[in-house]
């Protein structure tokens, strides 16, 4: 459907234009036909399109936010208050055996939900992203068959352009031989690789003949893939010398192609009590993007992660990044990183870009547009448009945008919105919001019965699991710890508790857990959700 929005347009285009007033023309093909000053003549084909005029209220029109690091299978779970923190590296916390242990707190609840209520889980994680203004998220679960449709773009499985899957991902480390002989060859300038590397605490690399620490070996193994399109997630253990080695390997290519570091400061501090040296990475010419990671150790969505980054930037980094640079980390930067594979831009508003839009209430008129985005909470999200379709927003704006088949949703007390969840032409988005919530609650009430019913359905199918009509089952992309795989188990652990769906917003329970952690880089996040400036 075609749609026109008028108001203060924060383009994040190559010139970072702010059009006040401006107009955004979203075509029925899911692309932007034009982004221009409001007084200019509209492009052809928009004579009958709905027009949303936001000029009187001063709302901001921005690109939908891009979350470049996640593990979506787990995003209905609450924060995991592990007892062994800080961990040395990523191999340590997955085998936590002391309550609340990783297997029964994280792996098994996600496994049961992904088996017994996969469509409902996909709906929930899409809605959670929309509530925070995200329209593209990374971290698709593995599945028995391809996932059809979705409320937001799932980076790993989004097929742009021309229906081709050009995004490679690996949450677990590949063997050095595979990276050298197979993966590197696929980075031919038309694909990107989202790769977890060097996730752990920073430590000096000892001189030979002492062995190089695990997380630094991971980075050394990745060297053949230092090519255009490489997106490294975490890199918390990397030193300035290692960032320099990466930069030197791609010094001969265009700056836009040199590489991207995905920064997840909340999760890093939650598990390791330190985070990526993003200043060193940026000084080497590497692009920085933000990712919320997953709900067991991360923020609810990248709008929250932006605030963690802002607090660290102000208190620990001496304000190295200005407000615009921080906002680029959830818009232009991840959009540029993905453009290598996708072509259409998802993080900049310009003709030909994806029609993924976020409308924010301007809560501090005296502040500039970038500081308004940083300080904005979920209460300021007024409308989210994904693929040109109005998906979430206030009742008035959803009606004005021509949204159909919406449900009422109250993501937090006092926030009343409408959500358009169903997409009848996409088999995996046929549930409405109330039905999705009921399905998740049914699993929570009796995990063992839900698990057995799902296993019976799989057994009754009997056909190939990659068939489009096969029962959908979602599988996590993270290590399982002590838990066993679905194929090798007949039942869930006795007494397993599947928690209720995690809150869609940063709520009191979330902040109470953060306060218990005592991590100063994280406890200051609550300040953004209180009246007045942080």
Where does 99-182 show beta strands of DSSP type E? 134-137, 142-143, 153-154, 167-170
Show the tokens assigned to 269. 């501090």
- The residues pairing with 381 across neighbouring beta strands, listed in sequence order, are 360
Looking at the whole model, is its pTM more than 0.75? yes
**Alpha helix stretches (DSSP H) within 94-136:** 102, 108-116, 118-131
Q: Indicate the average pLDDT of the chain.
A: 91
Is 336 inside any structural domain? no
The answer to whether residue 27 scores a pLDDT higher than 90 is: yes
Show the tokens assigned to 160. 């742009």
Is 35 inside any structural domain? yes
Q: Which residue has the higher pLDDT, 468 or 272?
A: 272
The enclosing domain of 28 has a CATH number of 2.30.40.10
Report the domain count for the chain: 1
Show the tokens assigned to 364. 């501090």
Q: Dihedral of the CA atoms 344, 31, 397, 422 (nearest 10)?
A: -90
The answer to whether residue 338 scores a pLDDT higher than 70 is: yes
**Spatial CA neighbour of 173 closest among 204, 143, 217:** 217
Residue 531 is predicted with a pLDDT of: 67
Is 13 inside any structural domain? yes
**Spatial CA neighbour of 233 closest among 170, 165, 189, 182:** 170
For residue 386, what are the domain limits?
A: 3-63+347-419
Is 521 inside any structural domain? no
| Burial class for 318, CB neighbours closer than 10 Å (0-12, 13-18, 19+) | exposed
**Span 270-298, average pLDDT:** 97
Residue 52 near residue 6 (C-beta atoms within 8 A): yes
Show the tokens assigned to 244. 């320099």
Residue pLDDT, tens place only, 48-89? 899 999 999 889 999 999 999 999 999 999 999 998 999 999
Residue pLDDT, tens place only, 35-44? 999 999 999 9
Is 385 inside any structural domain? yes
Is 218 inside any structural domain? no
Nearest-angstrom CA–CA distance, 489 and 473: 15
Is 441 inside any structural domain? no
Is 131 inside any structural domain? no
Contacts of 332 (CB under 8 A, 6+ apart): 12, 63, 347, 348
Show the tokens assigned to 82. 């592990």
Residue 211 is predicted with a pLDDT of: 77
Residue 427 near residue 149 (C-beta atoms within 8 A): yes
């Amino acid at each position: 459907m075609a749609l026109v929005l008028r108001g203060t347009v924060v383009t994040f285009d190559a010139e970072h234009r702010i059009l006040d007033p401006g107009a955004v023309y979203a075509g029925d093909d899911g692309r932007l036909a034009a982004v221009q000053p409001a007084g200019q003549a509209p492009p052809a084909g928009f004579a009958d399109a709905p027009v949303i005029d936001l000029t009187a209220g001063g709302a901001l029109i921005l690109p939908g936010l891009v979350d470049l690091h996640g593990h979506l299978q787990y995003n209905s779970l609450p924060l995991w208050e592990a007892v062994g923190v800080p961990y040395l590296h990523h191999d340590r916390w997955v085998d936590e055996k002391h309550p609340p242990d990783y297997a029964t707190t994280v792996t098994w609840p996600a496994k049961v939900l992904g088996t017994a209520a996969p469509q409902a889980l996909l709906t929930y994680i899409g809605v959670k992203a929309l509530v925070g203004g995200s329209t593209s998220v990374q971290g698709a679960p593995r599945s028995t068959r391809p996932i059809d449709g979705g409320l937001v773009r799932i980076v790993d499985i989004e097929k742009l352009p021309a229906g081709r899957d050009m995004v490679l991902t690996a949450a677990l480390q590949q063997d050095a031989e595979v990276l050298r002989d197979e993966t590197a060859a696929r980075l031919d300038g038309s694909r990107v690789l989202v790769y977890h590397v060097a996730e752990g605490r920073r430590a000096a690399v000892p001189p030979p003949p002492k062995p190089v620490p695990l997380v630094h070996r991971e980075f050394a193994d990745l060297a053949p893939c230092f090519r255009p399109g490489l997106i490294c997630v975490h890199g918390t253990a990397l030193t300035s010398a290692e960032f320099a080695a990466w930069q030197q390997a791609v010094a001969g290519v265009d700056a836009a192609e040199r590489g991207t570091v995905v920064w997840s400061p909340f999760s890093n501090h939650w598990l390791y009590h330190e985070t990526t040296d993003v200043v060193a990475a940026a000084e080497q010419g590497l692009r920085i993007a933000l990712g919320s990671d997953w709900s067991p150790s991360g923020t609810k969505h990248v709008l929250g992660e932006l605030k963690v980054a802002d607090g660290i930037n102000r208190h620990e980094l001496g304000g190295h990044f200005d407000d615009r640079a921080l906002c680029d980390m959830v818009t232009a930067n991840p959009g540029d990183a993905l453009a290598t594979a996708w072509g259409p831009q998802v993080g900049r508003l310009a003709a030909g870009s994806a029609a993924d839009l976020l409308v924010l209430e301007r809560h501090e008129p005296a502040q500039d547009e970038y500081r308004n985005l940083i300080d904005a909470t979920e209460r300021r999200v007024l409308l989210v448009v994904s693929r040109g379709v109005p998906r979430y927003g206030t009742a008035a704006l959803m009606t004005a945008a021509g949204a159909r088949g919406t449900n009422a949703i109250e993501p937090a007390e006092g926030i009343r919105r409408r959500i358009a969840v169903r997409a009848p032409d996409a088999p995996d988005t046929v549930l409405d919001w109330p039905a999705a919530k009921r399905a998740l609650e049914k699993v929570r009430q009796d995990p063992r019965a839900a698990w057995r019913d799902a296993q019976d359905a799989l057994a009754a199918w009997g056909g190939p699991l990659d068939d489009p009509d096969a029962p959908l089952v979602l599988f996590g992309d993270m290590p399982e710890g002590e838990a066993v795989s679905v194929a090798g188990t007949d039942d869930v652990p006795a007494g397993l508790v599947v928690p209720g769906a995690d809150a869609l917003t940063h709520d009191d329970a979330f902040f109470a857990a953060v306060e218990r952690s005592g991590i100063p880089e994280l406890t200051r996040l609550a300040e953004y959700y209180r009246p007045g400036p942080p």
